[in-house]
Amino acid sequence: MPSKSRKKRQMKLGQWQVTALIAVAVVILAVAIWMLVRGEHGVTGPFDARLLELAAARGVAAGAITADDPIRKVDDVFVRTWLLDFPNRPARDGFLGDLQIEGAARGAQVAYPEELGVETVRLRVGFDVEVFDLHLSVSETRPDMARPAEPTPVPSPTPKPQPAPSARGRLAILLDDGGQNLDQVEAAAALPKTVGFAILPFLPRSTETAVALHDAGHEIWLHLPMEPENYPANDPGPGAVLMSMNSDDLRTAVHLAINNIPHVVGVNNHMGSKATADLKTMTWIMQELKTRDLAFIDSRTTIHTVAEEAAQAQGVPTNRRHVFLDNERSAAAIRVQLDEAIYRSRMEGEIIAIGHLDKVTIEVLSQELPGLGKRGADLVKPSDLVR
Tens of pLDDT, residue by residue over 96-126, are: 888 888 888 888 888 767 776 667 888 788 8
What's the CA gap between 95 and 86, in Å, rounded?
9
| pLDDT value for 16 | 45
Q: What is the CATH number of the domain that holds 72?
A: 3.30.460.10
Claim to verify: residue 264 and residue 373 sit in the same structural domain: yes
Q: 141, 160, 178 — which closes off a domain?
A: 141
What's the CA gap between 276 and 256, in Å, rounded?
19
Helix, strand, or coil here: 202?
coil
Claim to verify: residue 55 and residue 173 sit in the same structural domain: no
Evaluate whether residue 153 is within a structural domain. no
Helix, strand, or coil here: 59?
coil
Claim to verify: residue 194 and residue 133 sit in the same structural domain: no
Evaluate whether residue 367 is within a structural domain. yes
Claim to verify: residue 177 and residue 299 sit in the same structural domain: yes
Q: Which residues of the chain have pLDDT under 50?
A: 1, 7-13, 16, 18-44, 141-147
Quickly list H helices, the chain.
4-38, 47-57, 89-105, 185-189, 206-215, 247-260, 279-291, 307-314, 331-348, 359-368
User: Does pTM surpass 0.85?
Assistant: no
Beta-bridged to residue 175, according to DSSP, are 197, 355
Claim to verify: residue 128 and residue 62 sit in the same structural domain: yes
Q: What is the CATH number of the domain that holds 283?
A: 3.20.20.370
What's the CA gap between 230 and 273, in Å, rounded?
9
Q: 141, 160, 185 — which closes off a domain?
A: 141
Helix, strand, or coil here: 131?
strand
| pLDDT value for 52 | 87
**Letter for the amino acid at 292?**
R
Claim to verify: residue 341 and residue 197 sit in the same structural domain: yes
Strand-pair category, 114-115 with 65-67: unpaired
Domain total of the chain:
2
Helix, strand, or coil here: 71?
coil
Evaluate whether residue 67 is within a structural domain. yes
Evaluate whether residue 20 is within a structural domain. no
Claim to verify: residue 181 and residue 102 sit in the same structural domain: no
Angle CA(8)–CA(11)–CA(13) in degrees, nearest 5? 110
Claim to verify: residue 230 and residue 87 sit in the same structural domain: no
Beta-bridged to residue 133, according to DSSP, are 81, 124
| pLDDT value for 112 | 65
Claim to verify: residue 124 and residue 196 sit in the same structural domain: no
| pLDDT value for 247 | 96
| pLDDT value for 283 | 97
Give the domain range for residue 236.
169-385
Residue 255 CB partners (closer than 8 Å, separation 6+): 288
| pLDDT value for 89 | 83
Evaluate whether residue 147 is within a structural domain. no
Claim to verify: residue 68 and residue 124 sit in the same structural domain: yes
What's the CA gap between 142 and 358, in Å, rounded?
53
| pLDDT value for 5 | 53
Evaluate whether residue 42 is within a structural domain. no
Evaluate whether residue 28 is within a structural domain. no
Claim to verify: residue 200 and residue 136 sit in the same structural domain: no
The DSSP string of 90-127 is HHHHHHHHHHHHHHHHTT-EEPPPEE-SSSEEEEEEE-
| pLDDT value for 101 | 83
**Letter for the amino acid at 371?**
G
| pLDDT value for 367 | 98
| pLDDT value for 20 | 42
Q: 125, 141, 157 — which closes off a domain?
A: 141
Evaluate whether residue 285 is within a structural domain. yes
Give the other-Cβ count within 10 Å of 279's Cβ.
Answer: 13
Angle CA(365)–CA(369)–CA(371) in degrees, nearest 5? 140
Claim to verify: residue 366 and residue 289 sit in the same structural domain: yes
| pLDDT value for 15 | 55
| pLDDT value for 33 | 41
